[in-house]
Chains A and B, each alone.
Chain A
Amino acid sequence: MDVLLQQVINGLVLGSMYALVALGYTMVYGIINLINFAHGEVLMIGALCSWSLINILQPAFPNLPGWVILLMAMVLASMTAAALNFAIEKIAYRPLRNAPKLAPLITAIGMSIFLQTIAMIVWKPNYKPFPTLLPSTPIAIGEAVITPTQLMILGLTAVALAVLSWLVNATRLGRAMRATAENPRMASLMGVKPDMVISATFIIGAVLATLAGVMWASNYGTVHHAMGFLPGLKAFTAAVFGGIGNLGGAVVGGLLLGLIESIGSGYLGELTGGVMGSQYSDIFAFLVLILVLTLRPSGLMGERVADRA
């Protein structure tokens, strides 16, 4: 088996999930300069919702193929998460828009704790197996293998990115979003409604996060109330890595981070002679983050400087 090729495939799969979540972070940060710590929790809620929906849909339509059920659950869960994220912004962040910078940050962390606790009460704290809806026979690529779920992740990410780039670059809403990110005051003078743009941003972010959450759940096979925290943190790292506020940067950062993490943890054991193993893989994201911020604070593709943060 080709280890390198296999790790590259795993890294790309992991990276595309990071990229989807990172887009949500970067869009929100670009417009209202807030690290939305609750974004990872939106991913979690999306995944848990889809889990519940699948458990309802599967007995209701036993004849439908697995991928249709997965798609239906994904769409419905996205709508739920979008409504939730819309409400979060309205209730928790909007009143603090002109408050000192620390207040919304702490609020976001509080929101994250709140959502985790609510999810724990609603869905119970145990790990729940996520049903395998896609065929599980791996497909061989050269000497490595890729599962249909991983293929679905790569394909769906590509579609989502294409839709998003069309939305941002070619629609009225996208132009309004870019204008608000550039200069909110000026944009509002030009007839853009900042509140509407911000709401739209949160809704788009929630949809992307839910996609990533369902992918995460079907790739790893479990869902639970604390699953959103680490992907959220790493996705933020990816966003910073690529240059926060920059959509292309978030995608590149996410993919690179996924690759670094998977290749790094794959070879760490060999490099250190078995002293450090893959249990240290979580460290890579943070090391990358620290290195990037100290060496190139604006990120790979960002033009903003850290001081403005």
Chain B
Amino acid sequence: MLNTNALFGNRWLLAFVLLLLPFVLQPFGNAWIRISDMSLLYVLLALGLNIVVGYAGLLDLGYVAFFAVGAYLFGLLASPHLTDAFPWIATMFSNGLHLSLWMVLPMAAGVAALFGIVLGAPTLKLRGDYLAIVTLGFGEIIRVFLNNLDQPVNITNGPKGIGPIDSVSVFGHPLSKRLDLGFIELPSVTLYYYLFLVLVVVSVVVCHRLENSRIGRAWMAIREDEIAAKAMGLNTRNLKLMAFGMGATFGGISGAMFAAFQGFVSPESFSLMESVMIVAMVVLGGLGHLPGVILGAVLLAALPEALRYVAGPLQEMTGVV
């Protein structure tokens, strides 16, 4: 674990850099801070998937489904969509349905975990490639449902998606508005940056504690050799379900955050490609290795965006578009 020390040994320096990052990026435009926001969300997703793939060794190619569940849950509970579509809900909530993210977050975590367990249960006997393909199937099924549940009753609004979704409020200040601190003004993206940063730090701590706990060690035992783990008295069924549930929780939470951040969700954001990207992040960084997973997520999330800025001028120069 040499990298761990290199990366986290100087944790004060790291914290300093992370805290100052938005101010460094600010002169280059808010788009760059937005990219870091998205990278942090992907770090969150990668951390969640790392529990399933990295610790428990269960290759999940449908992880984005839980992201979608969280995003749609917040989208439904904090946008005018449900009250528009169902008059009886409109009569129940005269001011419109606008739950705060902090109320939805535990729900998103719970519902996503439930989905994780429900989807995980039939796959308990499967391993490796077969598990990958079944989870992939689940991910696609959820997306097809999101796409088509606009009739006969309009629940998800189909391919058109749901919006506008309320933003997050912290201490009564909505993060979609700029914050004036007197000496400095923080734009909305910077505020979201700090919110996501806090979440990522909390998640890293949770993951780190999990990794060194009895459960974490049990997961790794299953990853290395399931039969041996079973012989040592581990309840592999419950542990696997727990891994699915835990991983899904992370997906649900980051989904709700994503919905609040974007203000809009549609099935397009939850394609198989996203699942593949998250798996690639975890694999690129190194399965089960936290700093690696974080690095992988940041690299794969930020590179395409950063390359967009590089590739544009390059294409203009060479005349290839």
Interface set of A (CB-CB < 8 Å, partner B): 33, 35, 101-103, 105-106, 109-110, 113, 233, 236-237, 240, 274-276, 279-280, 282-283, 285-287, 289-290, 293-294, 297, 306-307, 309
Contacts and interface: CB of A to CB of B under 8 A. Distances in A.
B141 interface: yes
Contact of A306 (B126, B140, B147): B126
Contact of A289 (B127, B129, B133): B133
Contacts of A283: 140-141, 144
**Complex A-B, nearest 6 residue pairs according to Cβ-Cβ distance, in ascending order:** A286-B137, A309-B128, A294-B122, A309-B129, A309-B130, A306-B130
Given A102-B287, A309-B128, 16 more contacts: A33-B129, A35-B129, A113-B273, A240-B130, A240-B133, A275-B152, A279-B144, A282-B144, A283-B144, A286-B137, A289-B133, A289-B137, A293-B126, A294-B122, A306-B127, A307-B127
B15 to A, nearest CB: 32
B297 to A, nearest CB: 15
B129 A105 contact: yes
Contacts of B125: 294, 297, 306
Interface in B95-154: 122-123, 125-130, 132-134, 136-138, 140-141, 144, 147-148, 152
Interface stretch (B37-45, B160-168, B275-283): B275-283
Given A240-B133, A286-B137, A286-B141, A109 B276 contact: yes
Interface of B: 59, 122-123, 125-130, 132-134, 136-138, 140-141, 144, 147-148, 152, 273, 276, 279-280, 283, 287
Given A35-B133, A102-B283, A286-B137, A309 B127 contact: yes
Given A109-B276, A309-B129, A309-B130, A294 B144 contact: no
A44 B152 CA distance: 35
A287 B276 CA distance: 21
Contacts of A306: 125-127, 130
A233 B133 CA distance: 9
A282 B139 CA distance: 12
A286 B130 contact: no
A298 B125 CA distance: 12
Contacts of A237: 133, 137
A219 B125 CA distance: 39
A28 to B, nearest CB: 12
Contacts of A285: 137
A275 B279 CA distance: 35
Specify which of A33, A101, A106 lies most central, judged by the most chain B CB atoms within 10 Å of its CB.
A106
Contacts of A297: 125-126, 130
Contacts of B279: 106
A306 B130 CA distance: 7
A293 B130 contact: yes
Contacts of B137: 237, 285-287, 289-290
A157 B134 CA distance: 28
Contacts of B123: 293-294
B130 A290 contact: no
A283 B139 CA distance: 11
A106 B138 CA distance: 19
Contact of A236 (B126, B127, B133, B141): B133
Nearest to B59: A102
B121 to A, nearest CB: 9
A25 B273 CA distance: 21
B129 A293 contact: no
Nearest to A102: B283
Contacts of A233: 136, 140
A103 B147 CA distance: 32
Contacts of B140: 233, 282-283, 286
